[in-house]
Amino acid sequence: MNSSNPLLHRLDQLNRIGVGLSRERNINRLLEDILLAAKGITGADGGTLYRMDDSGSHLRFEIMHTNSLGLALGGTTGKRIDLPDLPLRNAAGEPNLNLVAAYAALKEETVNIADAYDEAGFDFSGTRRFDAQTGYRSRSFLTVPMKNHEEQVIGVLQLINATNLLTGEVTRFSAEDQHLVESLASQAAIALTNRQLIDQLEQLFESFIGLINLAIDEKSHYTGGHCQRVPVLTMLLAEAVNATREGPLADFHMSEKDRYELKIAGLLHDCGKVTTPVHVVDKATKLETLFDRIHLIDTRYEVLKRDAEIRLLRAQLASGEAFDTAAEHALAQQLAASTAELDAERDFLRRINTGGEAMREEDQQQVRDIAAGRRWRDPTGEEQSALSEDEVANLSIRAGTLNAEEREIINHHIVATIRMLEQLPWPKHLRKVPEYAGGHHERMDGKGYPKGLTREQMSVQARIMGIADIFEALTARDRPYKPGLKLSKAMEIMANFARGGHIDPDLFAVFVQQEVYLQYAQTHLASEQIDPVDNAALLAAIN
């Protein structure tokens, strides 16, 4: 539209560049875009972008580009710039005004040099060495400080060798070039500052999340690792689903914002555990409260054994001289039998106290039989059952170590998580965090908690997190109540869950086909847990 008027065309180009810079999220790409844009609107052959370091004492090389040399360093190239930072002051603390980039930063002034080899006011010895090594001829320089909205210099933009587009001849940078680059530098500095502020806020936010997880970790080291591992596994599965191009999940796609939203949800998915009592979270055995009450039962059985021994000694004393060897031997055998029976009962109670995947009905009945038939005298002298009602209830827990009341307390953490997250004023790109984080205990068949949602009522992201949460729990090595399962066993259980309406079968199929479980295992599981998994059998089991 403005091609007939070069100046208007360049102004239009500058405006479009400014819009593009304001949208860029990647710092390295943003820095590169700034330099390339400056080179583009001035026809410069080369250029360097410096950033002020955190101390404000040095300029750091960030991007270097020279067209005629085919040189591209820093930014998105992945190639490091192996040059030392430029000090703004010398060893004596005096300003380094002989370095043109340092001068522009310190004086906050643009420096426009027609020919570096004829310029007496600055030290271009480094430039001459570069030219000697490469065969280049650095001539015209335009060095512009980049100032943010607070008028602080955050970097320096330096262009080299303005080139006449018609003749290819190196010329000096015009006043028009200078004004355009100064305008670009101003826009670029604001865009860069905004991006840095956003990044810093995101880092601060993630650090705050880290503090919450640290608080959970300090309460219970059994859950701190879980809070870190579930997001990792969540993102591995999400990326695998995102890459799927066939099947029912082919239409699922994530942008960078979607990824960040899911990552934050993963990090916060168990934040409600800060409200969960430690003795419930850490309940390693069925009888544990603030301590493991199996030791109380141990003591009672020791009392019962001593009572049996006391009865023997009393019988001996009561018999006097009439107590013969045969009678003594019979009593001794009776004592040995009683002691063996008591030891067997105590060993049984110790064993079942550890919990497990499923307690047998006959073991539950044996607990009830012991409670009904075994009596002891408490410190007041009253005869009591060897097991209280509460102990019977806990020892009879069918799976795991939590009774119904404790499981309700544990389950409440997801309600607390949702309440906590819904209180936050989430920005638009993070508004689904409460839904993703709050849905990882729901089931596809509507039998989950806290809302009893069905598969159709849940987002793909929430369903992904549900799989990640379960798989991490099955394989975790730091649980107090069970060892981490081997991959084959964990995947077998997951397949049963997929078949039984607990987890999403389509997502689980991707989990299997893309071997997401193996990617995770190779980093987060012990070598002895990683055994062969039959993917074909797992997929057949859910189809």
Lowest average pLDDT, out of 71-85, 315-329, 452-466, goes to: 315-329
- Over residues 473-506, the pLDDT tens digits come to 999 886 665 678 999 999 999 999 999 999 999 9
Confidence of residue 15 (pLDDT cuts 50, 70, 90): low
Q: What is residue 322's predicted lDDT score, i.e. its pLDDT?
A: 55
Bigger pLDDT: 522 vs 404: 522
Segments in 354-384 forming alpha helices (H): 361-373
Of the pLDDT bands very low, low, confident and very high (cuts 50, 70, 90), residue 418 is: very high
pLDDT score of 231: 93
Q: Read off the pLDDT band of 230 (50, 70, 90).
A: very high
**CB neighbour class for 141 (10 Å; exposed up to 12, middle 13-18, buried from 19):** buried
31: confidence class by pLDDT, cuts 50, 70, 90:
confident
> Which band of pLDDT confidence, cut at 50, 70 and 90, is reported for residue 426?
very high
**d(Cα 61, Cα 90) in Å, to the nearest integer?**
18
pLDDT of residue 437: 94
Cα dihedral sign, 105-108-110-116: negative
Please give the mean pLDDT across all residues of the chain.
87
Cα-based angle 452, 455, 459 (whole degrees, multiple of 5):
100
* pLDDT band at residue 2 using 50, 70 and 90 as cut-offs: very low
Cβ pair 27, 154 in contact under 8 A: no
187-206 in b/e form (b: 16+ CB < 10 A) is bbbbbbbebeeeeeeeeeee
Best CA proximity match to 173, nearest among 56, 42, 55: 42
Q: What angle do CA 98, 101, 102 make, to 5 degrees?
A: 60
Instruction: Reply yes or no on whether the pLDDT at 142 is more than 70.
Output: yes
What mean pLDDT do residues 372-388 have?
A: 86
Average pLDDT over residues 339-347: 91
- pLDDT at residue 531, rounded to an integer: 93
- Banded pLDDT at 313 (limits 50, 70, 90): confident
Percentage with pLDDT > 90 across the chain: 48
Around Cβ 88, how many Cβ atoms within 10 Å? 22
Give pLDDT, residue 29: 81
What pLDDT does 454 receive?
Answer: 95
pLDDT in tens, 197-207: 888 888 999 89
Which percentage of the chain shows pLDDT scores above 70?
A: 92
Residue listed under structure tokens 């970097």: 155
> pLDDT band at 7, cuts 50/70/90?
low
pLDDT of 186:
84
